[in-house]
Structure 1
Amino acid sequence: MTRRPNAPMPDSLRHFMRAGQHPARSVPCPHCGVGQHKPCQVPSSKRVMNQPHPQRISDWARNTACCPQCQVEPTTACHDEGRPRISVHARRYQEAEEMAA
C-alpha cells in the first residue's frame, strides 16, 4: 500500500467535514470576492467574518431552491409582478435552508 498525502477528498466526505459551516459557503461571495468554501472577509481590512455576507446567502438561495412565492426555478431571480428583485423572497431562504438540512 502506498501513501498519498495529497489525494483528493471525495465530495461526499467533504460535505460532512464542513457540516458546521453555513451552506452559503458553497458559492463564491459576490461582495468580498472569496471563492467557494472560504469564509467571507471584510474587504477593507481582510478580517475573516463568522457569517457570510447577505449577498452570498442570497446567491446561494437563488442557486439551490425554487421560490414558492413567485414560482421560479433555481438560478432564476425572484420577481415582483414581472419586475426582477435584487434579493430573494424570504420564503425562498426558508426553502433553501430546509433543503440544506
Structure 2
Amino acid sequence: MTRMPDSIRHTLRAAQHPARAVPCPHCGAHEHQPCTTPSKRRLMPQPHPQRVSNWVQIVACCPACQVEPGVPCHENGWPLRNGDTHPRRHIEAQETAA
C-alpha cells in the first residue's frame, strides 16, 4: 500500500473542522479523526457540538464572561450547562483558526 503524499494529506487536514484537533467526548473519536454515529459505522461530516465547545474553550478567550482559554464559560458565577460556551466565544475561536 502506498502512502498518501504529504501535500495532499496537509490539504485534506486543512479542510477539516478545527475542532477535530481535540478528542470527541461524545463518540470517543481521537484527535484529527471524524466523529462517528453511535453504531460507529458512519463518519459524520461535522463534529459533535460538545467537541466543538471543548475546542472553543481551549483556543479562545470569552468576550461574554471574560475568561481565558482553558477556563469554562459561566453566567453570573454559575458554569454553563453541559460544558457549553457562549456564542461570542465561538466567533473568537473561528477568527483564531482562520
Q: TM-score range by the shorter chain?
A: 0.7 to 0.9
Which runs of 5 or more structure 1 residues have no equivalent in the other structure? none
Paired residues, number = 91
Q: Hey, which of these two has a bigger chunk of helix by percent?
A: 2
Partner residue, 2:85: 88
Runs of 4+ aligned structure 1 residues displaced above 3 Å come to 14-17
In angstroms, what is the RMSD of aligned CA positions? 1.9
User: How big is the shift at 1:17?
Assistant: 5.0
- Which amino acid letter does the alignment assign opposite residue 56 of structure 1? R
Task: Write out aligned runs for 1:1-101 (5 A).
Answer: 18-85=13-80, 86-101=83-98
- Which amino acid letter does the alignment assign opposite residue 97 of structure 1? Q
Q: Per the alignment, in what secondary structure is the counterpart of residue 61 of structure 1?
A: helix
User: How big is the shift at 1:18?
Assistant: 1.3
**Percentage identity across aligned positions?**
57
Between 1:40-49 and 1:74-83, the stretch displaced more is 40-49
Q: What TM-score do the two structures reach when normalised by structure 2?
A: 0.84
